Structure 1
Amino acid sequence: MAEDTNSQNGANGQEAVQNTEAQEQQFIIERVYVKDISFESPNSPAIFTQDWEPDTNLNLNTQVNPLGDDHYEVELHLTVSVKGKDGKTAFLVEVVQAGAFLIKGYPAEQLNHLLASYCPSNLFPYAREVISNLVSKGSFPEMHLSPINFDALYAQNIAKQQEEAQANGGAPAETTEV
């Protein structure tokens, strides 16, 4: 009986350690905000006289700013430029959607993944809404950006870094911003 009690205590002890580890890991979205915003329609109103055959270009980037004490600011930079069929710019939208996050207790690899993929995934719907509203207020047809798979972009970035490391004779590639 004593052995059974000890083995049960051992199992409970392991569960307590696992629960303690899980409790130490925290991911909290503290704030989501627009940090910078711009809408330009340099060829209005002439652009409205053309048949609407837009040529759309999307540029996406992220930046992480450590704030100290397990706090991070993640910025999602989106630039959407649309040209009419004559090649003139119909409109240009630039949005920096940001968030303040408390991320604590994660190993470096998981922390990097959270900052480079999970945080931007949480910010993107807000940025998409801001862009849609700005385009509508500019009197252009509604624009709904398709969802973006930030996990796939993160995996591509990691693969690219590994290729660069191999090309440099196995030396680690310089760390790039997430």
Structure 2
Amino acid sequence: MAENTDATAQQNDDTKPQFALQRIYVKDISFESPNAPAIFQQTWQPKVSMDLNSSYTKISDTQYEVVVSLSITAKIEEKVAYIVEVQQAGVVMIKNIEDAQLGHMLGAYCPNLLFPYARETVDGMVNRGSFPSLMLAPVNFDLVYQQSLQRKQQEQAEQGAAEEKQPH
């Protein structure tokens, strides 16, 4: 009887949703300060712009690589003080998750886990470049993911409307 209970428990474990963050690493990193050392003589009131992106790649049936990409440019007037580019990545194991949930996990949940590491990496690089700390504000990846889904739906609707207008 105990053998059946063990087999049932094992079977339940095989069908339960599972998630594990297996590895976090920097995939790509770059720092440029093209106007140093002259830029250090300027009054430090930069305009900072940030481009943010996340993507994922399927590695195996249960493993994915998720990458959060940041590109940050700080300018004083029109001169570039620095450019920082970071690709913070992680390998995750995901099993027994429905497709709708899988998209959210890979497009929002995992980037939320990786962003603090990317933010710390950016701040460290900026400091090593002899610039004041740059503390990036948290990002609502749930909102970013929802907006991405809405854009895709809108593009598909526009594409469908354009195809209907074409003469046959």
TM-score of the pair, normalised by structure 2: 0.86
Residue 159, structure 1, aligned to residue 150, structure 2:
yes
Corresponding residue pairs, total: 154
The corresponding residue for 1:36 is 28
The corresponding residue for 1:60 is 52
Q: Which has the larger radius of gyration?
A: 1
Moved over 4 A (4+): none
Q: Secondary structure at the match of 2:160?
A: coil
1:42-96 superposed Cα distances (whole Å, 9 cap, x missing partner):
10010011111101110111121111131000011111011112x1110000001
The RMSD of aligned alpha carbons is: 2.1
Q: Which moved more, 1:146-155 or 1:54-63?
A: 54-63
Q: Secondary structure at the match of 2:155?
A: helix
Which amino acid is the alignment partner of residue 90 of structure 2? G
The corresponding residue for 1:74 is 66
1:82-115 superposed Cα distances (whole Å, 9 cap, x missing partner):
1112x11100000010000001101111101100
The corresponding residue for 1:89 is 80
Alignment identity in percent?
45
* Correspondence for 1:27 among 6, 16, 19: 19
TM-fit CA distance, 1:168: 2.4
* Correspondence for 1:51 among 30, 33, 43: 43
Mapped to 2, the partners of 1:99 and 1:134 lie a distance apart of 20
1:93-108 equivalences in 2 (<5 Å) = 93-108=84-99
CA change 1:158–1:170 in 2 (3 A) is: farther
Which amino acid is the alignment partner of residue 164 of structure 1? E
TM-score of the pair, normalised by structure 1: 0.81
